[in-house]
Structure 1
Amino acid sequence: MDGTSVRPLAPPAPLPDVQGAARWLHPADAEPDGGVRLFLLHHSGGGASMYRDWAGLLPSVACQAVQLPGRQERRREAPYTRLGPLAQALARVVSDELDGRPYAVFGHSMGALLGYRLTVELERRGLPPPALLAVSGWAPAGFSAPAELSADPLMALRLLGGLPAAVEDDPEQLAAAVRAMGADAAVCADRQDDGAAVGCPVVAYRGREDPLLAPGAMRSWAARTPAYLGCRTFPGDHFYLRSHAPAVTADLAQLLPRYAAGH
């Protein structure tokens, strides 16, 4: 790619059976005192660790970050490369977790796409939809991924600013990140927009200088929900969330009880 030495990983294991879904969620068990559950979905090439601080920012919410196969402690598992099978696997994970409490879904970038398709899949199965779908850094229209995402995953990671120094300095972690980014690019490219709407409210978040979103792109969510709650915009690029997680979670802390109460 650019001369960087990336040591290849051992051949990945087959796609996992989603039964025994504890490995998909961080933490594996939802906080029992949280009045609302919140499932968190990470960006392309990322992992559950991006949400490590959210439980402390949302103390009354039972936060669980989804860890997709092919990254971090799951890096020796084969990542998904198709959107449909991944959305179906996520639906099985979430449906097995539902315990009668209202729940919500938050996703950033690819995570927003996954959260949207997860919600569509749950509703198609006749399961209760989330009380709120929160989407960040991705929209059904007006989102443009860089060509490097598929052609050169390592360059895409660097271009988007999504490659922590600790990962770049570790050949095994770097190889896993590159493989995960390539697989996630394939998942995103597999999307065929069917115009599906969700039955729950949707709130959107974005960085003001995000190069992947056209002006007004987040307004395209209005056609996908009976209750579009608007877009909150923050200074920063595609990874504005790293600096503004406290503000985003503060907004969610106001919205979640309100919409959970009527769910």
Structure 2
Amino acid sequence: MTTPTALGQWLQPAEIRPDATIRLFLFPHAGSGGTIYRNWHEYLPSDIAHQIVQLPGREKRLGETAFTEIEPLVEAAYEAIADDLDDRPYAFFGHCLGAQLAYRVSLAMARDGQPAPVLIGASGWAPEGFSQVTYEQSLMPEPELVTWMRTLGSFPEEVYGNQDLLSMIVPALRADLAVVSTYVDDGAATNCPIVAYSGKSDPLMDPGAMASWDKRSPEYLGNSEFVGDHFYIDHAEHALAVTSDLVRHLRRVVDARR
């Protein structure tokens, strides 16, 4: 088992505005350091402070060893977030691997009696009906892996012609695919509301797969479907629509708890 160093900073930015009343933790997709959320500061209101959960082996943590199994990764992310929580209500949002991690970290919170997220936003992944990669796929020769990345639209087109960028992205992606391959669904339900988002032509998702969230939450708030594939959320208009809907639900659940 690969055990990453604990030296890196898990939350980016490390400090958030003290006047923000709600916190939002953003979990990135496989191979990413959080670039999918690069413009979210433009979409979110000033009273919601967001932090990207920065995994080892990429961007500012490039020199660290990436995780290759899901349970150790969930536990490490859980510990980092739990240590940083304060009295403010908080929510999770994740895309693909990020949604999977948000779900499992919320279960770890409940297990240890930590305050639960008031909401989970799950995008591009469902606990049932999602095409889970195998460990063998994480070992694909680089040309095949890059072709697969390109098919999904994982990264901007200019990345694929830049070998220096690929040399940083591919190892992180391989590690994250290995992480996903070790996931075993146990049917566990969270203790917080879940709202879902997906692309209409996502090749990794069976029709109706997002409805499987209904059994995993005491309050499933439904799925919003957008034109596009697995990375529909890369389009600015869709990202704005997702954040607007997420904020709407987030304000409602926070107000209901006051």
The TM-score normalised by the length of structure 1 is 0.89
Which residue matches 1:103? 90
Q: Corresponding residue for 1:260?
A: 254
Q: CA shift at 1:248, angstroms?
A: 0.4
Deviation of 1:149 after TM superposition, in Å, equals 4.3
> Contact (CA 8 Å) 1:45, 1:157: kept in 2 or not?
no
The reply on whether 1:246 has 2:232 as its aligned counterpart is: no
Contact 1:149 1:181 (8 Å CA) reproduced: no
Match of 1:197 in 2: 189
Among candidates 89, 99, 109, match of residue 122 of structure 1 = 109
User: How many pairs were matched up?
Assistant: 248
Following superposition, the deviation at residue 145 of structure 1 comes to 4.0
Q: Is the 8 A contact 1:157 1:181 kept in 2?
A: no
SS of the equivalent of 2:91 reads strand
Gaps of 5+ in 1: 1-12
Letter in 2 for 1:76: G
Superposition deviation, residue 139 in structure 1:
0.3
Counterpart of 2:123 (choices 114, 125, 136) is 136
Q: CA RMSD in A?
A: 1.8
C-alpha distance in structure 2 between counterparts of 1:165 and 1:52, whole Å: 17
Q: Is the 8 A contact 1:198 1:224 kept in 2?
A: yes
Which residue of 1 is the match for residue 67 of structure 2?
80
* Structure 2, gaps ≥5 residues long: none
Higher mean C-alpha displacement, 24-33 vs 136-145: 24-33
Aligned partner of 2:10 in structure 1 is 24
Indicate the percent of aligned positions where both proteins have the same amino acid. Answer: 46
The CA distance in 2 between the partners of 1:137 and 1:188, in whole Å, is: 14
Q: Secondary structure at the match of 2:55?
A: coil
**Structure-2 separation of matches of 1:256 and 1:206:** 18
Out of 24, 31, 45, the residue aligned to residue 38 of structure 1 is: 24
Cα distance change, pair 149–35 in 1 and its aligned pair in 2 (3 A): farther
Superimposed CA distance per residue, residues 188-207 of structure 1 (whole angstroms, 9 cap, x where no aligned partner): 01111111110000000001
**233, 236, 239: which is aligned to 2:228?**
236
Please report the TM-score for the alignment, with normalisation by the length of structure 2.
Answer: 0.91
CA distance in 1, matches of 2:159, 2:63: 16
Contact map agreement 1:40 1:66 (CA 8 A) in 2: yes
Look up the equivalent residue of 2:30 and give its one-letter code: S
- Which of these residues, 8, 15, 18, is aligned with residue 4 of structure 2? 15
